[in-house]
Chain A
Amino acid sequence: MSDYLEFEDGDVIDGVHYHRHDVVIVGAGGAGMRAAIEAAPRANTAVITKLYPTRSHTGAAQGGMAAALANVEEDSWEWHTFDTVKGGDYLVDQDAAEILAKEAIDAVLDLENMGLPFNRTPEGRIDQRRFGGHTRDHGKAPVRRACYAADRTGHMILQTLFQNCVKLGVNFFNEYYALDLVMTEVDGVPQPSGVVAYELATGELHVFQGKSIVFATGGFGKIYKTTSNAHTLTGDGVGIIWRKGLPLEDMEFFQFHPTGLAGLGILLTEGARGEGAILRNASGERFMERYAPTIKDLAPRDIVSRCMVQEVAEGRGAGPHKDYVLLDCTHLGAEVLETKLPDITEFARTYLGVDPVVEPVPVMPTAHYAMGGIPTNVKAEVLRDNDTVVPGLYAAGECACVSVHGSNRLGTNSLLDINVFGKRAGNNAVDYASTVDFTPLPADPAKAVRELVEGLRDASGTERIAALRKELQDEMDRNAQVFRTDESLAKVTETIHELRERYKKVSIQDKGHRYNTDLLEAIELGFLLDLAEVVVYSAKNRKESRGGHMRDDYPKRDDETYMKHTMAYLTGDPHSADAADHISLDWKPVVITNYQPMERKY
């Protein structure tokens, strides 16, 4: 038994701090805190988060959270399920979508009961508004399904969940960066046994042993330059899982949100179009009428983004370089803008100097949401292959792929996802923890992280992190954005290989131990390189166009060949020149219950 580490909670061995908790949650955004609210009252729970919980990017979500409450007009969870499946271009697992839509109603009521200040109807009920792709009776007309709190729904969700965590005394480890998942061989099978984290304030390492471990680390929009995502959304959790040889699902599907502030990527919610704002090209034409005659500007995001890029490509863009289109809110009036969309009105004023009350706002698609991620089943259990679970390991929120969003997520379905599957992850993690003993830790569980950290701190190369990151992001915007081709993707793969070689020669300037953000940016870049490569490699392999993945060289959806999820595995040395030598791809069937794939028309 000497192979395993003997320790007590609170021990410091060779400078590494050891902790023991039944449930260890990584990430304190919406998904992580929703899980913590279930877990903390029932089990000894620790939440590790690289940001103070209220700094998480859930707080940036604006528009709303979908649930067929039918508070303002007839609605049903079955219609919501259909919209989710159709919106995801049929790559959605329909059993999961059904759970999402059914449990949505309680998820919203839970939040209201926890104190969330939703906007209200004249009767004092939760008000609802329209959002892209959400329709009445299988596509007949837009329906009011998004529950909202002005245009800061995500802020209110994050605050409300944090408030309830304070109420429950949840044990947060703030500004601790999880950098590795510890696996221990038990009977020849690697079992998750803990998480290694780096404490920002001190530079010290901590190992958290856990019976159940929940990943809720959010997205990785920073693989792109133009993005609505925060600087900190570098996909660390997804990258950690990847490096363990566990699969990632549907990574080629990244959502580009139509209305990012041109040149900046800061998001203007689809709720603006829900309230009646209109997209126009240079000549003032409402071009969405041509592409989606029934629901026009409220078509799903993949479609609208594509149409915008096409308008610009065909010379109908606005501005001096004809490189953006216009979001026209002027007819909504100051009253609607100030009361229902105050934050985005201010973003346009502050960052572009454009007042949406009197002039249209320059917009272009912005990298927004990762549909793919860590594969899980509907219990939020992480999968090791198409159907075997990794016992005790869970994932929820944007880092996970259940898959309820298929190839294109509908607006307002992610705030829903983090609540429904965050709750499930928390509950199932506790249930599991109550039935098992701790898996022992290996002798030196922090070894790999210590080597990584010390290697970077001592490195004396000439390459700079920021320069490499910028090249990666520029290249991803240029060649792996809304439209992709075999050729463009091949270019990115090459660039990533080069960058990876140069990454070996980086050095950082801050050699200190306290608050060394220089060091952490270097580590985060490592994750970005890994994930960008999986995105591009998976995209190259899918020779069809579906949802968020648009191949110029294969413009049609091909159900015959590709009606299945991509599963990517790291199987070799990531430095090998040919990605095929270190990534292997497989397929996983899509779960179809009620809805047979149809052509997607709006």
Chain B
Amino acid sequence: MAGAATLEAVDNTAKAEAPIQAFTVTLNIRRYDPEKDAEPYWQDFDVELYATDRVLDALHKIKWEQDGSLTFRRSCAHGICGSDAMRINGRNRLACKTLIKDLDISKPIYVEAIKGLPLEKDLIVDMDPFFASYREIQPFLIASSKPDKERIQSVAQRERFDDTTKCILCAACTSSCPVFWTDGQYFGPAAIVNAHRFIFDSRDEAANVRLDILNDKEGVWRCRTTFNCSEACPRGIEVTKAIAEVKAAVLRGKPDIPKK
């Protein structure tokens, strides 16, 4: 057993031994400071980076070494806090989860704020409308029973809504949705994902309330299944599938949850 691991260890070493090479990468960033600029504009920055650096590292290098006024949100730096969703080469992603080696660096990397939410400064948008839709679907467990211990939930029932519990509210999905771009009233995928998380939780008693809310004209039926949201989700949540399951539950009048 130990032998196998040792062999692996050697392989690992060999791989890490490849010389580490730095590249000059050009980032083209859409800047906007309402205190100064009438309109957003694009600005180039050249940065020395390693293949294993993240786009967030590139932004930090620019901010820390070239232009302190470059503004973006970030906190955890490893894809768990949802602060740094942005459009990178036209796709919504987290800057801290996008590695330079996975981008084509023969061309500039285009970075801009996510779309559909009010632009505040550089890569920062106003998140309040996003959280307002989230609040509307009643994103909390509604259960009248008062158990003295934990509520019982089977492994299968717990599994039923596992995927949608992963959401970090980064807005990558909602701000990649063409319906949301044209109709800011639409709840958007993230709110539906979070409704799904409760609708399919066997402990919850208010599925019908949420299904009613989402049966609204700004609800699930606005989704045209373009799959942008699923592709954008940094947590790998099958967003379009979750929306489809909510649609089915609206039609059936109740969610399809394992009995045991």
Contacts and interface: CB of A to CB of B under 8 A. Distances in A.
Interface string B61-87: 001110111011111111111110000
Nearest to B155: A120
A351 B52 contact: yes
A55 B33 contact: no
Contacts of B34: 514
B81 to A, nearest CB: 4
Nearest to B124: A515
A155 B164 CA distance: 12
Contacts of B76: 55, 57, 59-60, 230-231
B152 interface: yes
A232 B166 CA distance: 22
Contacts of A56: 81
Given A54-B169, A284-B2, A117 B77 contact: no
Given A51-B75, A320-B16, A509-B68, A514 B35 contact: yes
A104 interface: no
A360 B8 contact: yes
B13 A318 contact: yes
Interface in B1-54: 1-6, 8-9, 11-13, 15-17, 33-36, 52
B83 A51 contact: yes
A150 to B, nearest CB: 8
A508 B8 contact: no
A415 interface: no
B149 interface: yes
B213 interface: no
Nearest to A114: B141
A495 interface: no
Given A286-B2, A466-B65, A514-B120, A318 B9 contact: yes
Interface string A521-558: 00000000000000000000000000000000000000
A159 B16 contact: no
A124 interface: yes
Given A152-B166, A166-B135, A285 B2 contact: yes
Given A509-B67, A515-B71, A359 B12 contact: yes
Contacts of A362: 12, 16
- Give the interface SS of chain B, mostly helix, strand, loop or mixed: loop
A575 interface: no
Interface string B124-136: 1001000100110
Contacts of B147: 113
B5 A326 contact: yes
A394 to B, nearest CB: 24
B91 interface: no
Interface residues of A, number: 78
B12 A117 contact: no
B209 to A, nearest CB: 13
A115 interface: yes
Nearest to B8: A359
A119 B150 CA distance: 12
A266 B78 contact: yes
A155 B154 CA distance: 21
A486 interface: no
Nearest to A359: B8
Given A55-B83, A330-B4, A358-B8, A122 B155 contact: yes
A570 interface: no
Contact of B12 (A230, A354, A508): A354
Interface string A77-120: 00000000000000000000000000000001100111101111
Interface residues of B, number: 75
B158 A119 contact: yes
B81 A230 contact: yes
A284 B35 contact: no
B120 A163 contact: no
B5 A328 contact: yes
B121 interface: yes
Given A55-B75, A60-B76, A109 B149 contact: yes
Interface in A105-161: 108-109, 112-115, 117-126, 149-150, 152, 155-156, 159
Contacts of B162: 117, 150
A15 interface: no
Interface in B164-199: 165-169, 198
Contact of B151 (A112, A285, A350, A515): A112
B5 A514 contact: no
Contacts of A510: 68-69, 71
Interface string A510-524: 101111111000000
A54 B141 contact: no
B2 A360 contact: no
B169 to A, nearest CB: 5
B206 to A, nearest CB: 11
Contact of B2 (A54, A126, A201, A280): A280
A261 to B, nearest CB: 9
B108 interface: no
Nearest to B64: A466
B5 A284 contact: yes
A109 B74 CA distance: 33
Nearest to B202: A124
A515 B121 contact: yes
A347 B79 CA distance: 9
A250 to B, nearest CB: 26
B81 A57 contact: yes
Given A54-B81, A55-B82, 10 more contacts: A115-B198, A115-B203, A115-B204, A124-B155, A266-B77, A280-B9, A319-B16, A359-B9, A360-B8, A512-B36
The 10 closest A-B pairs by CB, nearest first: A115-B141, A284-B6, A466-B64, A509-B68, A510-B69, A124-B152, A163-B140, A167-B140, A518-B68, A55-B81
20 contacts: A57-B81, A113-B146, A113-B151, A117-B153, A118-B150, A163-B140, A163-B141, A232-B75, A284-B2, A285-B2, A319-B13, A319-B16, A320-B13, A326-B12, A331-B1, A347-B79, A359-B9, A509-B68, A510-B71, A517-B72
